[in-house]
Amino acid sequence: MGPARSGRGSGGGNRGDSDGFRRRSRPGPRACGIGNDRRERIGPYGGRRVEGARPGAFIDPSPLYFLQRRFRFARMPKQTFARLPGFRDFPPEDLAFREHIFGAWRRVSVRYGFQEYDGPPLEPLDLYVEKSGEEIVGQLYHFQDKGDRKVALRPEMTPSLARILGDRHRSMAKPIRWFSIPHLFRYERQQKGRLREHFQWNVDVIGEEGVGADVEVIAVALDGLRDLGLDQGDVHARVSDRRLLGAILSAIGVEDTRLPIAFAIIDKIERTPADRSLDRLQTEVGLDEARARSAFGLLDQGGLDDVKSEFGDLDKVGVELERMEEYIGSLQAMGLGDFVDFDLRIVRGLAYYTGIVFEIFDRKGESRAICGGGRYDNLLELVGGDPLPAVGFGMGDVVLGELLRELDLADPVSPEVDYFIVIIGEEHRELAYAIARSQRDKGAGVQYALREQPVRKQFTAAGNAGARQVIVLGPDEVARECAVLRDMASGEEREVPLKELR
């Protein structure tokens, strides 16, 4: 057969028969207008043939060749992506446990009249440098954005709280009662109870300087733990007052300029050998050996009565003692006294705390603090706001979650499935859809098999889903405009009219 005639006019853009319809070219010397010799030089997939090589051998292959080889012939190893160190995944069961904790936090906050707020996870780096100094930068996830701004993922919420309040607080009734559950990030060494990200329950009372605000805040924290099933046998709060401790240290001869050094030593006194702490109290704080040993003994074993008997006659100490007695007495009146222990060693390492401070631990003392907080009357002013008295706490989800699991208080939370519809015969699937829509509109959780399955397999799926009841759509019942309703706990069955279900 000779060359095909051009169709549809003399231009001959398409090659085909004279009827004008394009036809597929047959293999041959001139298929696609390329001779056999030219095809051998080009090679398959557009590659250039090696001179003198067998037909099909070629070099300099085209990109098309590589695509064909990669996706048709080559078995490439799969690339895997590991989770970043210090971060967590939340599959459904873990997310349900997290939401269980969040639910308790929110319930208790609302009971106490607190309102929820939030802020952006990315803030100006200077917001944290202003509060904690340049040394904080090494603990942050920070970078320079495309607008040449130095920014950081938030490591805590209090600076954001101060920024959010800004001038807004002037028109707000006091005290302000706010809470939040932010996602926080710190680039630090991983260890038990400490990751590089966590969620934290923050509760703050702003604009109230009376001890009642301090009482309210720790009561919220303790009730949040009680709501999760913990009691005074599981956890306890160790409380102190930096003003009281400062007055005692001044009474035994510590100069005001050395109080921050003394606080830093006391903050680490439980994690430091006794002889090392005694040495530092003498060399760095300026106490002689006798006074250093007296102070160490009071810190190690002294209760509120011991402090009162030894220092209660001093005016400065007496005022602070009265505040602490009112604080503990109020918690006893609330029924929370068994949770609270007075302990002068609780200082809270952060320098911005100004008054009553507390930390909550498990009774066995096997984990880090579950919660910590206190009064910070100067912090809002420090990060650019107006001077406002404030008190609050933060409770992380990591240590708390570990404790709940250790005490078997982390029961898995199943999704709420009220009905599972068992479809006997695909002709009833549209009826199942109608029933599901009606029940979901009423707020019920409904599931069903997404394709045709044996009845036994559908009942197994209902059990795995934790369904409370099963609606069985069988041919005989549907013919009578009924369905069978089975209670999965008791196994009891009864017929219900379809009109009640859809």
Q: What is the pLDDT, as a whole number, of residue 412?
A: 65
Which H/E stretch holds residue 420?
strand 419-423
Reported as a pLDDT band with limits 50, 70 and 90, residue 2 is very low
Q: What is the pLDDT, as a whole number, of residue 195?
A: 94
| Range 405-410 contact pairs with CB under 8 angstroms and sequence separation of 24 or more | 407/229, 407/230, 407/234, 409/228, 409/229, 409/230, 410/97, 410/100
- CA distance readout (Å), 167 to 342, 365, 385: 37, 42, 8
The first and second tokens of residue 43, run together, are 């090679």
**Rounded distance, CA 112 to CA 212, Å?**
13
Q: What is the pLDDT, as a whole number, of residue 56?
A: 53
Closest by CA to 240, choosing from 263, 272, 221, is 263
Range 37-53 average pLDDT: 50
Q: What is the pLDDT, as a whole number, of residue 8?
A: 42
Q: Is the pLDDT of residue 53 over 80?
A: no
- Burial of 376-405, coded b for 16+ CB within 10 Å and e otherwise, reads bbebbeebebeebbbbbbbbbbbbbbbbbe
Reported as a pLDDT band with limits 50, 70 and 90, residue 66 is low
| pTM: predicted TM-score of the whole model, two decimal places | 0.78
Query: Among residues of the chain, what percentage have pLDDT more than 90?
Result: 61
Task: Convert the pLDDT of each residue in 377-397 to its tens digit.
Answer: 987 777 666 788 999 999 999
The first and second tokens of residue 204, run together, are 């703050």
Is the bond into 175 cis (omega within 30 degrees of 0)?
yes
Query: Among residues of the chain, what percentage have pLDDT more than 70?
Result: 82
Reported as a pLDDT band with limits 50, 70 and 90, residue 1 is very low
Q: What is the pLDDT, as a whole number, of residue 13?
A: 45
CB neighbour list of residue 150: distance below 8 Å, 6 or more residues apart:
124, 125, 126, 142, 143, 144
Q: Is the pLDDT of residue 217 over 70?
A: yes
**Rounded distance, CA 217 to CA 353, Å?**
15
Task: Among 10-19, 106-115, 147-156, 488-497, name the one with the lowest average pLDDT.
Answer: 10-19
Given this chain, do its domains 92-192+199-406 and 419-500 carry the same CATH topology? no
Q: Which amino acid is at 179?
A: F
Task: Convert the pLDDT of each residue in 243-291 to its tens digit.
Answer: 999 999 999 989 989 998 999 999 889 888 999 999 999 999 999 889 8
| Biggest CA-to-CA distance, the chain | 123
Mean pLDDT is highest, among 349-363, 398-412, 486-500, for 486-500
Q: What is the pLDDT, as a whole number, of residue 478?
A: 97
The residue ranges of every structural domain in the chain are 34-73, 92-192+199-406, 419-500
**Rounded distance, CA 163 to CA 289, Å?**
46
Residues 203/392, Cβ–Cβ less than 8 Å: yes
- Look at 433 and 350; give whichever has higher pLDDT: 433
- CA distance readout (Å), 487 to 34, 354, 435, 465, 495: 75, 59, 17, 14, 12
CB neighbour list of residue 103: distance below 8 Å, 6 or more residues apart:
none
Q: What is the pLDDT, as a whole number, of residue 54?
A: 57
Q: What is the pLDDT, as a whole number, of residue 301?
A: 73
Residues 295/287, Cβ–Cβ less than 8 Å: yes
Reported as a pLDDT band with limits 50, 70 and 90, residue 33 is very low
Q: What is the pLDDT, as a whole number, of residue 18?
A: 42
Range 459-477 average pLDDT: 96
Range 402-421 average pLDDT: 87
Q: What is the mean pLDDT of the chain?
A: 86
Reported as a pLDDT band with limits 50, 70 and 90, residue 470 is very high
Closest by CA to 109, choosing from 232, 212, 217, is 217
Q: What CATH superfamily classification does 92-192+199-406 receive?
A: Bira Bifunctional Protein; Domain 2 (3.30.930.10)
Q: What is the pLDDT, as a whole number, of residue 67?
A: 56
Which H/E stretch holds residue 448?
strand 446-448
**Rounded distance, CA 457 to CA 167, Å?**
62
Q: Is the pLDDT of residue 79 over 50?
A: yes
Residues 367/212, Cβ–Cβ less than 8 Å: no
CB neighbour list of residue 292: distance below 8 Å, 6 or more residues apart:
278, 281, 282, 285
Q: Is the pLDDT of residue 25 over 70?
A: no
Task: Among 53-57, 240-244, 337-341, name the one with the lowest average pLDDT.
Answer: 53-57
Backbone angles phi, psi at 469, to 5 degrees: -135, 155
Q: Is the pLDDT of residue 479 over 80?
A: yes
DSSP secondary-structure letter at 228?
T
| Exposed / middle / buried, residue 227 (Cβ in 10 Å: 0-12, 13-18, 19+) | middle
Q: Is the pLDDT of residue 151 over 80?
A: yes
Tell me the three-class secondary structure of 408-434, residue by residue.
Answer: CCCCCCCCCCCEEEEECCHHHHHHHHH
The first and second tokens of residue 182, run together, are 């932010």
For the domain covering 419-500, report its CATH number.
3.40.50.800
Which H/E stretch holds residue 394?
strand 390-396
Q: What is the pLDDT, as a whole number, of residue 230?
A: 97
Task: Convert the pLDDT of each residue in 166-181 to its tens digit.
Answer: 878 889 999 999 999 9
Range 386-414 average pLDDT: 90
Q: Is the pLDDT of residue 77 over 80?
A: no
Task: Convert the pLDDT of each residue in 184-215 to its tens digit.
Answer: 999 988 888 889 999 999 999 999 999 999 99
Q: What is the pLDDT, as a whole number, of residue 9?
A: 43
DSSP secondary-structure letter at 32?
G
Residues 61/55, Cβ–Cβ less than 8 Å: no
| Exposed / middle / buried, residue 336 (Cβ in 10 Å: 0-12, 13-18, 19+) | buried
Q: Is the pLDDT of residue 57 over 90?
A: no
**Rounded distance, CA 158 to CA 140, Å?**
15
Task: Convert the pLDDT of each residue in 322-373 to its tens digit.
Answer: 999 999 999 999 999 999 999 999 998 777 789 999 999 999 877 689 999 9
